[in-house]
Amino acid sequence: MTAPMLILAALLLPLLAALLIGLCHARPQLRDAICLASALLLPLLVLPLVEPVLAGDRPSLMLGQLLPGLDIRFEVEPLGLLFAAVAALLWPVNTLYSIGYLRANREAHQTRFYICFAVALSSTLWVAYAGNLLTLFIGYELLTLSTYPLVVHKGDRRSIRAGRVYLGVLLASSIGLLLPAILWTWHRAGTLDFVPGGILAGRIDGWLVGALLLLFVYGIGKAALLPIHRWLPAAMVAPTPVSALLHAVAVVKAGVFTIVKVLLYVFGAELLLHEASSHWLLYVAGFSILVASVIALRQDNLKLRLAYSTISQLGYVVLAAAILAPLSVAGAALHIAAHAFGKITLFFAAGAIYTAAHKTRVSQLNGIGRQMPWTMVAFSIAALSIIGVPPTAGFLSKWYILMGAFEAEQMLPVLVVVISTLLNAGYFIPIIYVAFFKQADKKADKQAGNPVEKPAVHPVDNPVDKQAVNPARTSIDEPDSHGEAPRLMLLAMVASASLTLLLFLFPALPLGLATAIMEPG
Amino acid sequence: MNLLDHLPVLAVILPLLAAPLCVLVGRERIAWLISLTAAVASAVVAALLLRQVSNTGSLSYALGGWSPPWGIEYRVDLLGGYVLLLVTVIAALVLCYARRSIEREVIAARRVNFYAALLLVQAGLAGITVTGDAFNLFVFLEIASLASYALVSMGSDRRALSAAFNYLVMGTIGATFILIGIGFLYMMTGTLNMQDLAARLPAVADTRTVQAGFAFLTVGIGLKLALFPLHQWLPNAYAYAPSVVSVLLAATATKVAVYALIRFVFSLFGHDWAFATMKLDLVLLPLAIAGVLISSIIAVYQCDLKRLLAYSSVAQIGYMLMGIAIVSVTGLTATVLHLFNHALMKGALFMALGAVMYRIGSVQLKDMAGLGQRMPLTMAAFVISGLSLVGVPFTVGFVSKWYLVLAALEQGWWWLVAVILASSLIALIYIWRVVEVAYFQPPRPSTMPSTISSPIPLSRVEEAPLSLLLPTWVLVAANLYFGIDTSLSVGIAAAAARSLLGTELGAGL
């Protein structure tokens, strides 16, 4: 297949899958098989593009003209391809996990779930491949709308309220701030194409640069930069595979990806370095990293702790991109991938713990490593990656971010990264410690096993029927012996944890893409 | 002279003749067939006309062979042809939809008259778009208005009568103002032909009489197009009229009034005089902004969905007036575009509500619970056209908003950008209230609505019949199609805006 065909096929495959999934509504086995098959096929449509792109080629596809002078156009460049590859690799893993999770927890509306998931994936690729701001904006909005049914999947009062926050914040920021930013850019530059070096140089100067940047950065609500982060913790009511989609594969990654794109290809490094009015971004990103880490430290609910950890990790990407040194930009791109692999594993583990043991709080996890060794080993690897310990992917990205900061002689980012690494360790190491080295707390366990238990302060997963939920449980009398989660979920976790390690051990391709972003030509 | 030369008059004459024919035949089914045929035929005529106009430029047709300026001239330019096509196509869709819909909403004895009145509305609106004569325009406006008062009064709710009466009083005041305005112009120039008027007005433009005439015309048309705060007749009229009538009025009547305003301001008086001398923008812009914000907020608090959409219409008309008041090619393009696009969205929304009315006999928000499962296609249509109202990409609403915001940016008016976007977000709130109730609230069996016809248990509510769904989805598809392939709608709107603002009147295309 030619490169433009590959682009089109990658965009259409998930949509086709959604259609087939809808048609197979009555036959769950076939439906799940279609999900998995199309998910496995997707990487084959994305990865062949790596070689030509590394060779300097920029395959593009033009779908048509939306408005005079504004095309729906796709162009694959290294950063977008890296993002697309991450999403394409994680879709099959997530599908595997979703099938296991939805079946084990007897979730309703499974067909709707898979359809929306596939559409969200297509929108993600749309964002990744977009060749201009308008095309990107369309994919961005479609992603918001297609993930809304996933967030409110349970349909109860609490998820509807969370859905309202989710949709409200994301659409309000994108329509209220991002859209005028795009229009302003169009008005000033007369083009919305992504061009290396930017399109705004010489078209706008002084404090206006900072103002436009403000519209962009806060308009891209998906990047969850403080204080536009409320939607992310709210969306934690969704089933765990959805949280994984939001945090690792699609939504927040689309956000930071868009910010990096805008910084590099709309403003251009030169303009931003030159204009002092845009330098506030570094401080805002640093602030976001540290504050979110501190909040994460104080969360007892496991998924909420992971959510705030995500907010702080997204700050890394923005911070690294805002340094604007070639090495730090490569670090930002790598961090999108590294954090995706790490965070998806962490969410998988949280979901597995919930499915097997019905535990949602960190304080309930004493000794759980002995019950669920595979889960907790995967969790530990991912946690180490988020902290940035070798031999995991997180080390690699942090290394590049720090090198970029030194190269640019920016000491503030270095300080932020160091402090936040300590904070990361502070909220992850205790979990690993208690899981493996502490005795299981009998009373807490009994309480957790009790079917009429009131949800915690920030209750997350609220099962339909707690007793019917646990196929892995071997004996009902003994609350201790819940064992591991269903095998499909374990398989997914092992896969994503190995990706974390593989990215460190074989970094050639992703590193090649990441460093090609700032290379001229 | 072959038939094609008579196209301008055919678009008016077809429905005008079909209306009495319906009454003479007196049989409901045949009356429906006659009206449908007339509507489809005039839609074809309108399409041919538009093609001819975009190929060869403005058309002039001397009614009865009396050459202008003595006789009545019909003059079709790109803008007129565009609005005419909109009116006739919507009317044809509405008639496809009407037969099933009025089974539940209009008593049998009135149905023949209902079709006749519907055709008269169409004839009047079509006439306004093709005529080149100021007094003739007034006559057509009155034909359309009188027929629509009758249509509103046929609603099954008794409150429809007071709504229609209210509409009649306000509408007549508006019509009187317009008549006075035209009279003043005639006094000063001795002509009623628009082109002639435009040529003679500059000479007498600084007289008190012409200025008063201008004011009378603006206020009169403002009443007809529901310019905030002259919109008081609209919410009740839309809410209590039969669903079909709400569709027709929301999608066409106010649009044609906006067309009339554009015609008078830009073609007759000329934008230089209207905006630079008479400062029309100083009146229009604040009222448009107030309308956009206040009506959107009022819409959020409505429990009757038809009334909610009615307030939303007042807000959307505010958008069109903003485009006019910006006085730039981009602004006027946005107005003409939104005139077309808003007809598509509101038409689809009201049609979806009509289908709901057909099945459950109510459009109260609380009665919509669980409808997302019971009537999936109807509600999907509602959601998509609702998103179009909000302005999500790939819908027509996005295209309108794009041009309107761009027009405001060109002037450097950031506060206006904020107003436009804030009101889109308010639109999101009122649309999403419906979505949450329809999709996530379980149906409540106890609250069975019992307004008309035999009540149906909610558990047995099914999808709307095909004859209601099909026209609805045609409009939904148009919402998506013209949101993606914008070359036709944007092309015509931009060309019309350029010609209206280009040189002085009469330059044509």
Identify all chain A residues contacting B409, using CB atoms and an 8 Å cutoff.
180, 183-184, 187
Q: Supply the Cα-derived Rg of chain B in whole angstroms.
A: 22
**Is the CB of residue A138 less than 8 Å away from at least one CB of chain B?**
yes
Give the confidence band of A466 by pLDDT, cuts at 50, 70, 90: very low
With a cut of 50, say whether residue A454 has pLDDT above it. Answer: no
Identify all chain B residues contacting A126, using CB atoms and an 8 Å cutoff.
none
Cβ within 8 Å, pair B484-A172: no
**Is the CB of residue A142 less than 8 Å away from at least one CB of chain B?**
yes
B436 → chain A, closest CA residue: A160
Q: 3-state SS of chain A: helix, strand, coil percent to 5?
A: 75, 5, 25
B438 → chain A, closest CA residue: A155
**B459: closest CA of chain A, how far (Å):** 19
Q: In this predicted structure, what is the pLDDT of residue B62?
A: 83
Give the confidence band of A23 by pLDDT, cuts at 50, 70, 90: confident
**Is the CB of residue A67 less than 8 Å away from at least one CB of chain B?**
yes
Cβ within 8 Å, pair B432-A167: yes
Cβ within 8 Å, pair B490-A68: yes
**Contact criterion met (CB below 8 Å) for B171 and B250:** no
Neighbour tally for A521: CB within 10 Å: 5
Identify all chain B residues contacting A176, using CB atoms and an 8 Å cutoff.
421-422, 425
Does the ipTM exceed 0.85?
Answer: no
With a cut of 80, say whether residue A34 has pLDDT above it. Answer: yes
Is B430 exposed, middle or buried, given 0-12, 13-18 or 19+ CB atoms closer than 10 A?
A: buried
**Is the CB of residue B436 less than 8 Å away from at least one CB of chain A?**
yes
Report the candidate in A322, A306, A307, A228 with the shortest Cα–Cα distance to residue A269: A322
With a cut of 70, say whether residue A137 has pLDDT above it. Answer: yes
Cβ within 8 Å, pair B421-A175: yes
CA distance B327 to B321: 10
Q: In this predicted structure, what is the pLDDT of residue A520?
A: 55
**Which member of A67, A171, A180 has the closest CB to residue B405?**
A180
User: Which alpha helices (DSSP H) does B301-451 contain, by range?
Assistant: 305-326, 329-360, 371-374, 376-390, 396-410, 414-440
B399 → chain A, closest CA residue: A67
**A264: closest CA of chain B, how far (Å):** 24
Mean pLDDT of chain A: 84
HEC letters along A350-365: HHHHHHHHCCCEHHHC
Identify all chain B residues contacting A68, using CB atoms and an 8 Å cutoff.
490, 494
Residue A397 backbone phi and psi in degrees, to 5: -70, -40
**Is the CB of residue A180 less than 8 Å away from at least one CB of chain B?**
yes
Cβ within 8 Å, pair A172-B425: yes
Q: In this predicted structure, what is the pLDDT of residue B426?
A: 92
pTM of the entire predicted model: 0.87
pLDDT, mean of residues A21-45: 88
Residue B46 Cα distances to B4, B11, B498, B502, angstroms: 11, 7, 22, 25
Of the candidate ranges A139-153, A159-173, B114-128, B455-469, the one whose mean pLDDT is the lowest = B455-469
**Is the CB of residue B379 less than 8 Å away from at least one CB of chain A?**
no
Identify all chain B residues contacting A65, using CB atoms and an 8 Å cutoff.
486-487
pLDDT, mean of residues A146-150: 90
With a cut of 60, say whether residue A468 has pLDDT above it. Answer: no
Q: In this predicted structure, what is the pLDDT of residue B260?
A: 93
Length in residues, chain A: 521
**Contact criterion met (CB below 8 Å) for A488 and A96:** yes
User: For residue range A358-414, what is the model confidence (pLDDT) as tens digits?
Assistant: 888 888 888 888 888 888 889 999 999 999 888 888 898 999 999 999 888 888 889
With a cut of 60, say whether residue A82 has pLDDT above it. Answer: yes
**Contact criterion met (CB below 8 Å) for B313 and B305:** no
Report the candidate in A282, A340, A278 with the shortest Cα–Cα distance to residue A315: A282
**Is the CB of residue B329 less than 8 Å away from at least one CB of chain A?**
no
**Is the CB of residue A65 less than 8 Å away from at least one CB of chain B?**
yes
Q: In this predicted structure, what is the pLDDT of residue B404?
A: 93
Q: In this predicted structure, what is the pLDDT of residue B164?
A: 92
User: For residue range A262-296, what is the model confidence (pLDDT) as tens digits?
Assistant: 999 998 888 888 888 888 888 999 999 999 999 99
**A111: closest CA of chain B, how far (Å):** 14
For residue A64, list its beta bridge partners: A72
Q: In this predicted structure, what is the pLDDT of residue A249?
A: 79
For residue B62, list its beta bridge partners: B73
CA distance A228 to A234: 12
Q: In this predicted structure, what is the pLDDT of residue A68?
A: 82
Before A391, cis peptide (omega within 30)? yes
Q: In this predicted structure, what is the pLDDT of residue B508?
A: 35
User: For residue range A478-521, what is the model confidence (pLDDT) as tens digits?
Assistant: 445 677 878 888 888 889 899 888 888 888 888 888 888 877 54
Torsion of CA A46, A48, A52, A58, to 10 degrees: -20
Residue B239 Cα distances to B58, B144, B353, angstroms: 38, 19, 11
**Is the CB of residue B406 less than 8 Å away from at least one CB of chain A?**
yes
Q: In this predicted structure, what is the pLDDT of residue A475?
A: 40
Length in residues, chain B: 509
For residue A74, list its beta bridge partners: A61, A130
With a cut of 60, say whether residue A456 has pLDDT above it. Answer: no
With a cut of 70, say whether residue A441 has pLDDT above it. Answer: no
3-state secondary structure of B59: strand
With a cut of 70, say whether residue A144 has pLDDT above it. Answer: yes
Q: In this predicted structure, what is the pLDDT of residue B456?
A: 55
Identify all chain A residues contacting B417, using CB atoms and an 8 Å cutoff.
180, 183
Identify all chain A residues contacting B432, using CB atoms and an 8 Å cutoff.
164, 167
Identify all chain B residues contacting A152, using CB atoms and an 8 Å cutoff.
440
Q: Supply the Cα-derived Rg of chain A in whole angstroms.
A: 22
Report the candidate in A57, A19, A40, A83 with the shortest Cα–Cα distance to residue A334: A83
Per-residue pLDDT of chain B (509 residues; tens, 9 = 90+): 577 788 888 889 999 999 999 999 888 889 999 999 999 999 999 999 998 888 888 888 888 778 877 888 888 888 999 999 999 999 999 999 988 888 888 888 888 999 999 999 999 999 999 998 999 999 999 999 999 999 999 988 888 899 999 999 999 999 999 999 999 999 999 888 888 888 888 888 888 999 999 999 999 999 999 988 888 899 999 999 999 999 999 999 999 999 999 999 998 888 888 888 888 888 899 999 999 999 999 999 999 999 999 999 999 999 999 999 988 899 999 999 999 999 999 999 999 999 998 888 888 888 888 888 888 889 999 999 999 999 888 899 999 999 999 999 988 888 999 999 999 999 999 999 998 888 887 776 544 454 444 445 566 677 888 888 999 999 999 999 998 888 888 988 988 888 888 743 333 33
Identify all chain A residues contacting B487, using CB atoms and an 8 Å cutoff.
65
Cβ within 8 Å, pair B421-A171: no
Q: Both ends of chain B: CA-CA distance in Å?
A: 25
Task: Copy the structure tokens of residue B106.
Answer: 């209009």
Cα A163 from chain centroid (whole Å): 18
